Amino acid sequence: MKDTLVIRDLKAGIEGKEILRGINLTVRKGEIHAIMGPNGSGKSTLGLVIMGHPSYEVYGGEVIFNDRNLLDMEPHERAQAGLFLAFQHPLEIDGVRFSTFLWQAYSHRFGNGRKPDIIKFRKELRQWLKNLGLPENMTDRYLNVGFSGGEKKRAEIVQMAILKPEIAILDEIDSGLDIDAVRIVAENVKRIKQETGMGVILITHYQRILNYIVPDYVHVMVDGRIVEEGGPELAETLEKEGYARYGVAEEV
Amino acid sequence: MADRKEQEALLDFDYSKYGFKDEDAVYDFVSEPGLDEEKIKLISRLKGEPEWMTEIRLKAYRIFLEKPMPTWGVKLDDIDFDSIVYYARPTRKVADSWDEVPEYIRRTYERLGIPEAERKYLGGVEAQYDSEVVYSRMRKELEEKGILFMSMDEALKRYPELVRKYFGTVVPPSDNKFAALNTAVWSGGTFVYVPKGVKVDIPLQAYFRINLQNLGQFERTLIIAEEDSFVHYIEGCTAPIYDTHTLHAAVVEVIVKKGAHVRYTTIQNWSRNVLNLVTKRAVVEERGFMEWISGELGSGRNMKYPSSILRGRGARTDILSMSFANTGMHHDTGGKVIIMAPDCRATITSKSISKGGGISTYRGLVKVLPDAERARISVSCDALIMDEDSVSNTYPYIEIEADRVNIAHEAKVGKIGEDQVFYLMSRGLTEQEATTLIVMGFIEPLSKELPMEYAIELNRLIELEMEGSVG
Ligand SMILES: Nc1ncnc2c1ncn2[C@@H]1O[C@H](COP(=O)(O)OP(=O)(O)OP(=O)(O)O)[C@@H](O)[C@H]1O
Ligand SMILES: [Mg+2]
């Protein structure tokens, strides 16, 4: 299927320990899927496995994107195919300037073997930093080094805006953001979605961001399985009642 | 927004071919392999030197014979001094225009991009090919300020008193076996003199090339910065790939007078068959500042420890070095600081990368003599090990005999983080690109100190070293 990410009965884990126990999920371009679930239920693992983190092993199932078997592809090939993961914990890379790195990524995505237009790149970058409320000199700083928690999250969105994915996985993009920042990030995600028509998998613990980015579907993940699916109202129920109804003990 | 990587995208140099040799090279004179007093006298005579220099050479030769081989550092016991050619002169003339340089040599330097660099961003260029400087030229406006920039041989002819006053005062032949050998057979190298208060705002560059198989290159460099002056001197080194050893044993002496500032930058990319055994040292007077910056990418066996002797109150030094030891390479490098006066400051920063079984050793000495109160010293050694086969060692020696000394020492050894590589790959970079970028980030503290063109060159060289590093 074109413009579609299909996950079928995906089982994966680490060092023989199964974390994902059969995930089924289909995301078309233009759709917004929220994934919610208690800590440790496997949400980040799902993102990392879709993106191809080498520490995780796949025990079964398949992941198909635009009719290509993602599981046979290297992480960079998945990215070049149009997948994007905004990390729950973005990595710090010392000595590597934000713009240097992003230019290289941009060249892969839009170069077709040649160098794309650097002037256009700079202009876009400057605009998106502004949109996300980040200072212009961010470009000369080392990637995520010394960025505050909120700056890291915003910088992930800048990267996404520049790389214009077809499907983006946003792993707790709203965690650690102040109230205004949640709104700014959410508005920009919506804007990027409008401009690119991308599909979004939004992993979150909070209803707040879903007020801005209204999901088409909400999936509840518990212990490596999707245990319930519904519309936006499901998120509101969870906000009120928590995960107790899935047999999950309340957090202390 | 001066972003190097982006600039790089706009430039298109080919740095992949340093290893070529000039098959059609012709020499004016090549001495028989091996060394004795007669050969030394012959070299001195061919150069038309004053007698006192011949004497210095002969005395140094005797010291060389007496001195034992160093037993530490890299493997040295297979050096066959009898098979080395100690002097090879391609031409008798030092040209001041590239048109006058022999065709095959000019071609070499053009391939290395030197004439172009000279036109664009250098204040002066000197090119040494095997034993002799074949090209030397400085911009007129610098000449008019009284700056001297020429080969050591020419300086000996034109300014014998100045040479005699300083030669061997910073690195005496008795310092070590290879300093003695250099003093005995030195040829070429650079002489720089900056008058009081003069600031040279664009770098002066010397370019050293070894072409002849079995040649030993023994250049001798002397930099004198008078009070409150500034100069940035850059040296680059390349050689063809041979299957026998080539010895490069240079001596560099720097005199930093009161309030003067000298920045000495090296980009060393010798081929792997070159043994690089270099003695570099500066004496720094009151409030003077000596910076040693080096990127060591080539040379199969490399020993160098740029040194600063802080002799005047408030003198400063920064020693910043990066070394990349790839398969079959052993780099034993570091820095030395000897502090003799109060209120001095020194930092040593070492960044080493070992890959494919390469060995990187940091060896450093900080010595604070009793008079050097309130010295502030910081030493940091950072090692990156790319795989299980590679090795990193650290030998930081610190001797403090003064009071109220503040010293910070930090050593780190690390591997490239899998999560970092994955993060970059998740944005579309290949594993090799991701790893290379992380390595470049690791050496950024060095590359950001280089003029942009050199930073780009350094990154290109790193890229070449990183090629084929992931399966
Ligand atoms: N590298 C790892 N090594 C060992 N266990 C791991 C590793 N990564 C994840 N796990 C385990 O897998 C389970 C799922 O983790 P995951 O990070 O996917 O949870 P999550 O749903 O994203 O939780 P949170 O809401 O807290 O972010 C947890 O029990 C976690 O400890
Ligand atoms: Mg998580």
| B19 pLDDT tier (thresholds 50, 70, 90) | low
Question: In the predicted model, what is the mean pLDDT of residues B157-173?
Answer: 97
Q: Reading across the β-sheet that carries A167-171, which strands appear in turn?
A: A83-86, A167-171, A199-203, A32-36, A217-222, A225-230
Q: Is the pLDDT of residue B377 over 80?
A: yes
Residue B344 pLDDT level (bands cut at 50, 70, 90): very high
Distance CA B19, CA B272 (A): 10
pLDDT at B1 over 60: no
Q: Which amino acid is at A125?
A: L
Q: How far is Cα of residue B450 from the mean position of the Cα atoms in its chain?
A: 14
Question: What are phi and psi for residue B412, nearest 5 degrees?
Answer: -135, 140
What pLDDT score was predicted for residue A12?
98
Give chain A's end-to-end CA distance (angstroms, integer): 44
- Cα separation, B258 vs A23, in Å, equals 73
Q: What is the pLDDT of residue B459?
A: 86
Contacts of B437 in chain A (CB under 8 A): 93, 96, 100-101, 104
CA B403 to chain centroid, in Å, comes to 34
Ligand 1 pocket mutation pick from A35, A44, A57, A175 by most atoms within 8 angstroms of CB = A44
Q: How far apart are CA A38 and CA A220, in angstroms?
A: 9
User: A87 CB under 6 A from ligand 1?
Assistant: no
Q: What is the pLDDT of residues B243-283, one digit of tens each?
A: 788 899 999 999 999 999 999 999 998 888 899 999 999 99
**pTM recorded for the entire structure:** 0.90
Q: Which residue has the higher pLDDT, B460 or A156?
A: A156
Q: Do B428 and A91 touch (CB under 8 A)?
A: no
Strands A68-69 and A57-65: antiparallel
Average confidence (pLDDT) over A58-72? 96
The pLDDT of residue A81 is 93
Stretch among A2-6, B73-77, B108-112 having the lowest mean pLDDT? B108-112
Count the neighbouring beta carbons within 10 Å of the beta carbon of residue B423: 26
What is the per-residue pLDDT for A251?
A: 52
Which pLDDT score, from 0 to 100, does residue B471 have? 44
- Closest Cα of chain A to B436: distance in Å? 10
pLDDT at residue B467 above 90?
Answer: no
Identify the weakest region by mean pLDDT among A131-145, B22-36, B301-315, B416-430: B22-36
Check if the beta carbon of residue A36 is closer than 8 Å to that of residue A237.
Answer: no
Pull the structure tokens for residue B426: 């998740």
Ligand 1 centroid to A9 CA: how many Å?
19
Binary contact (A109, B431; C-beta < 8 A): no
> How many helices (H) and strands (E) are present in chain A, helices listed first?
8, 10
Q: Which atom of ligand 1 is least distant from the CA of A221?
A: 21
pLDDT surpasses 90 at A73: yes
Q: What is the mean pLDDT of residues A81-101?
A: 96
pLDDT (0 to 100) of residue B220: 97
Ligand nearest to the CA of A205: 1
Task: Share the mean pLDDT of chain B.
Answer: 91
Q: Is the pLDDT of residue B460 over 90?
A: no
**pLDDT (0 to 100) of residue B109:** 87
Q: What is the CA radius of gyration of chain B?
A: 22
In which residue are the tokens 């780190």 written? B412
Ligand 1 centre from A227 Cα, in Å? Answer: 18
Q: Hey, of A51, A97, A141, which one would you mutate to test binding to chain B, going by the most B CBs within 10 A of its CB?
A: A97
Mean pLDDT of A164-184: 96
Backbone angles phi and psi of B242, in degrees to 5: -120, 165
The proportion of chain B whose per-residue pLDDT surpasses 90, expressed as a percent, equals 76
| Chain segment B230-242, per-residue pLDDT in tens | 999 999 988 787 7
The reply to whether residue B427 touches residue A101, judged by beta carbons under 8 angstroms, is: yes
Q: Reply yes or no on whether the pLDDT at B15 is more than 90.
A: no
Neighbours of ion ligand 2 (CB under 5 A): A 43-44, 88
A91:B10 CB<8 A: no
Closest chain A CA to residue B441: A95
In this prediction, residues A200-227 reach a mean pLDDT of 96
Residue in chain A lying closest to B1 (CA): A140
Task: For ligand 1, say whether the CB of A16 is within 6 Å of any of its atoms.
Answer: no
What the block records as the tokens of A155 is 């910088």
- Put simply, the answer to whether A105 touches B442 (Cβ < 8 Å) is no
Contact list, A55 vs chain B (CB under 8 Å):
418
Q: Is the pLDDT of residue A113 over 80?
A: no
The continuous run of DSSP H or E covering B398 comes out as strand B391-400
- pLDDT of amino acid B2: 39
Determine whether the shortest distance from the Cβ of A41 to ligand 1 is under 6 A: yes
Predicted interface score ipTM higher than 0.90: yes
Average pLDDT (B365-389) is 96
Instruction: State how far Cα A54 lies from the chain centre.
Output: 18
Residue nearest to atom 5 of ligand 1 (CA): A14
* pLDDT bracket for residue B171 (50, 70, 90): very high
Residue with CA at minimum distance from ligand 1 atom 7: A14
CB B83 within 8 A of CB B72: no
Do the strands B88-89 and B29-30 form a parallel or antiparallel pair, or are they unpaired? antiparallel
Q: How confident is the model at residue B397 (pLDDT cuts 50, 70, 90)?
A: very high
Mean pLDDT rounded to a whole number for chain A: 95
